Amino acid sequence: MPAQSRVRRLFSTLYFQVLVGIIIGGLIGYFFPHFGVSLKPFGDGFIKLIKMLLGPIVFLTVVLGVARMGDVKRVGRVGLKAIIYFEIVSSLALIIGLAVGIGFHPGSSMNVNPATLDMKAVQSYATAAKQQHGVVDFLMNMIPSSAVDAFARGDMLQIILFSVLLGVALSHLGKRVQSLLTVLDDFLQGMFGIVRIVMRVAPLGAGAAIAFTIGSYGIGTMASYGKLIACLYLTTAVFVFVVLGTIATFCRISFWKYLRYIWEEILVTFGTASTEAVLPKMMEKLEYLGCERTVVGMVLPAGYTFNADGTSIYLTMATLFVAQATGIHLSFLDTLVILGVALFTSKGIAGVAGGGFVALAATLSSMNKIPVAALVLLLGIDRFLNEARAVANLIGNGIATIAVAKWEGEFDQRRATAVLDGRFESEETFERKAETIAQ
């Protein structure tokens, strides 16, 4: 292939455009901070465009998968396997975050007097945390007051529950609803078509989000909290490459090739600090990779609530950071309490604005030892920390979907190998060739 053609092909790829957008956004935020802050609506608008598609795509994917599966027991089996996987891996992430926080003491040099902290700045997060009640309340909240309300609020667990029930009902009707399933399938393809259109503005959305972050908080904020940021990013990297990489090896896929396969989604997630921005595209890519549609539709969205690996690392490490920064000594029993509390508080924060921060507030509130007002120490850098945990959540939930599909025997190994090796023609390549032929 001529060099000019390779350059043109590189420029046309979404991941290159998003990378350029992030770099330009970072430069704007650094040199023109006020202008960078004013770009916030572009980042928010991109995420809102994606969010409007999440409910319909998850609903249609699960309904079609369950209805065509015809085996209700299998649906329950997939759900149980996913929960087992989520609990094991997210618990491991919590333990790793706790170990690094204890070993490196990221907040020990700050010496902050808790009496000087202003609770007003974090009051909204503390209020939201109080609404995250016990297990019974969490389970009851999975049941929507109405199907319309679940879609209106974008509550993924409620949408999944309603979708599974409708899919089971349709599966019992057999041939009578085949025409309806065909219409729903066509509608789903239309939704994915909209996703492909919206993703064209991903470079603008990611760049604007980075410009806002750096323009609002500045690089200096990162320097003053350098030890915590370094610990979190390095711990996240170790978890991703060691733990998730090992799981990928057991699933017989190349972890490096998997990362390259979802590189566009990683960049968009890093730029927007939101995994929701790429959920539809991840569902499409994982199904294309060889995961069965129903497994993708159930496991990936549910993972946003039950399998937040990056958030789990953040919870234990940030809790230890604020304790160390305020000079509060934690015994071994206290660290075990942190671990136990975080196991629950990390589960119910999907769809909550500033979900990781709300979960942290809930963790501190439950302990009654570290003042919730100490959260103000993290306000200035939470956005920088959120980028790392969002990327870890994205990669982890993709691996979780592959692992559960493999466990269930619904993963096409040969197809996955061909796709990751580049021997299986992607839809974008096929469409590009079709356009060339048409011209």
Tell me: the pLDDT tens digits for 225-234? 788 888 999 9
Residue 432: the pLDDT is: 47
Residue 404, sorted as left (phi over 0), alpha (psi -120 to 50) or beta, turns out to be alpha
pLDDT band at 439 (very low <50, low <70, confident <90, very high): very low
pLDDT band at 266 (very low <50, low <70, confident <90, very high): very high
pTM for the model stands at 0.79
**Mean pLDDT confidence for 87-115:** 83
pLDDT, tens only, 36-65: 889 989 888 888 888 888 888 888 888 888
Residue 44: the pLDDT is: 85
* In contact, 32 and 215? CB cutoff 8 Å: yes
pLDDT band at 431 (very low <50, low <70, confident <90, very high): very low
pLDDT, tens only, 311-327: 889 888 888 888 888 88
Average pLDDT of the chain, as a whole number: 81
Residue 92: the pLDDT is: 92
Give the CATH number, domain containing residue 104: 1.10.3860.10
For residue 391, what are its two tokens? 């990327």
Q: Among candidates 295, 319, 322, 316, which has minimal Cα distance to 398?
A: 295
Residue matched to tokens 């009640």: 133
Residue range(s) defining the domain that contains residue 345: 3-438
Residue 106: the pLDDT is: 83
Opening angle at CA 201, ends 195 and 203, nearest 5 = 120
- The SS3 of residue 113 is coil
pLDDT band at 434 (very low <50, low <70, confident <90, very high): very low
pLDDT, tens only, 152-178: 877 777 888 888 888 888 888 878 888
Residue matched to tokens 């000087």: 116
Burial tier of 80 (Cβ tally within 10 Å: 0-12, 13-18, 19+): exposed
Residue 325: the pLDDT is: 83
How many domains does the chain fold into? 1
- Give the span between the Cα atoms of 395 and 28, in whole angstroms: 28
